[in-house]
Structure 1
Amino acid sequence: MSQLAQPGSSVSPADLRPALTLLTGFAPKATREAADLLTLADPSLLVVTYDLAELLDNGTVRRLVHDGRGPIEDERVTLDHGCINCTIREDLLPALVRLARARPAVDLALVLPPSMEPEAVTTACGWCDVDGAPVTDAIRIDSVVAVCDPGTLLETLDSDQDLADRRLQAADDDTRSVSEVAARQIEFADTVLLWAPDSERDYEHTRLSVLLQRLNPWARHLVLDLPEPAWLSARIRRSGRFDPEAPEPHGRGLEGYAVGCHEPEPDCGVVATVYRARRPFHPERFHRALPTLAGRTLRGRGHLWLAGQPDTIVAWESSGGGVSMGDLGRWLAATPDEEWEESSPERRVNADLHWDADFGDRGIELAFVGIHFAADELAAVLDACLLTDAEAAEGAAAWREYPDPFDGCFDSKERNQE
Structure 2
Amino acid sequence: MVSVSTVPITSAVTAPVDRRPAVTVLSGFSPSAVQAAASALLVADPELLAIRHDLTGIRDGLVSRTVLTATTVLEHTLVELLHGCVSCTLREDVLPTLIRLAHERPGSDLLLVLPPAVEPEAVAAACEHSPVGESVRFDSYVTVVDADTFLDDLASADDLSDRNLHAADDDHRAVAEVVVHQVEFSDTVILWTHPDTDPLESERLSALVHRLAPWSAQVPTGNSDRVDCTALAARVRRTGRHDPTRPGLLGRALEGRQIAVHDPDGDHGVTSIVFRTRRPFHPQRLNEALEELTENTLRGRGQLWLASQPDTALAFEFAGGGLSLGTLGYWLAALPAERWTETSDERRLAADLDWDPYYGDRRTVLALIGLHLDHHALTGLLRSCLLTDAELADGSDAWRDLPDPFAGCFPLTDDTTTEEN
- Going from structure 1 to structure 2, the CA distance change for 1:415 and 1:63 (only over 3 Å counts) comes to closer
Match of 1:4 in 2: none
TM-score (norm 1): 0.93
Residue 219 (structure 2) aligned to one of 218, 222, 233: 222
TM-score (norm 2): 0.92
Determine whether 1:91 maps to 2:88: no
Unmatched 5+ residue regions in structure 2?
1-14, 417-421
- The question of whether the paired residues in 2 share the 8 Å contact of 1:294 and 1:322 is answered with no
Distance in 2, Cα, partners of 1:165 & 1:408 = 31
* Post-superposition offset of 1:330: 0.4
RMSD of equivalent CA atoms: 1.5
The C-alpha deviation readout for 1:295-346, integer Å capped at 9, x for no partner, is 2210011100011111000001111122111110100000111101111111
Equivalenced residues, count: 399
Amino acid at match of 2:110: L
Matches of residues 374-413 of structure 1 in structure 2 within 5 Å?
374-412=374-412
Residue of structure 2 equivalent to 1:114:
116
2:65 corresponds to 1:63: yes
- In 2, the alpha carbon distance for the partners of 1:26 and 1:356 equals 42
Are 1:102 and 2:99 counterparts? no
Aligned to 1:179: 176
1:156 equivalenced with 2:142 (yes/no): no
Three-state SS of the structure 2 residue aligned to 1:382 is helix
CA distance in 1, matches of 2:399, 2:197: 57
How much has 1:170 moved relative to structure 2? 2.2
| Letter paired with 1:79 | L
Q: Tell me if structure 2 keeps the 8 A contact 1:294–1:320.
A: no
- Report the equivalent of 1:47: 50
Distance in 2, matches of 1:20 and 1:275, equals 37
State the distance in 1 between where 2:208 and 2:245 align.
26
Deviations 1:140-176 (A, max 9, x none): 0000011000110001111111111112122221121
Q: Distance in 1 between matches of 2:350 and 2:102?
A: 40
Establish whether residue 202 from structure 1 lines up as the match of residue 204 from structure 2.
no
8 Å CA contact retained: 2:22, 2:110: yes
Letter in 2 for 1:15: D
In structure 2, what is the equivalent of residue 239 of structure 1? Answer: 239
Please tell me whether the aligned partners of residues 282 and 306 of structure 1 are also in contact (alpha carbons under 8 angstroms).
yes
Q: 1:276 to 1:52 in 2, by over 3 A?
A: same
What is the Cα deviation at residue 96 of structure 1?
Answer: 1.0
Preserved contact between residue 291 and residue 321 of structure 1 (Cα < 8 Å):
no
Deviations 1:37-68 (A, max 9, x none): 00110011100111111111x21011111101
Name the SS of the counterpart of 1:306 in structure 2. Answer: coil
Does residue 290 in structure 1 map to residue 293 in structure 2? no
Q: Which residue of 1 aligns with 2:258?
A: 258
Structure 1 match to 2:23 = 20
Q: Secondary structure at the match of 2:128?
A: helix
Cα contact 2:160–2:172 (8 A) shared by 1 = yes
Report the identity percentage.
50
**SS of residue in 1 equivalent to 2:239:** coil
Task: Tell whether 2:367 aligns with 1:354.
Answer: no
Q: Which amino acid aligns with 2:329?
A: G
Is the deviation greater in 14-23 or in 368-377?
368-377
1 CA distance for matches of 2:91 and 2:172?
Answer: 21
Gaps of 5+ in 1: 1-11, 129-133
Mapped contact 1:407–1:413 kept (Cα < 8 A): no
1-structure distance, mates of 2:410, 2:171:
19
Q: Secondary structure at the match of 1:127?
A: coil
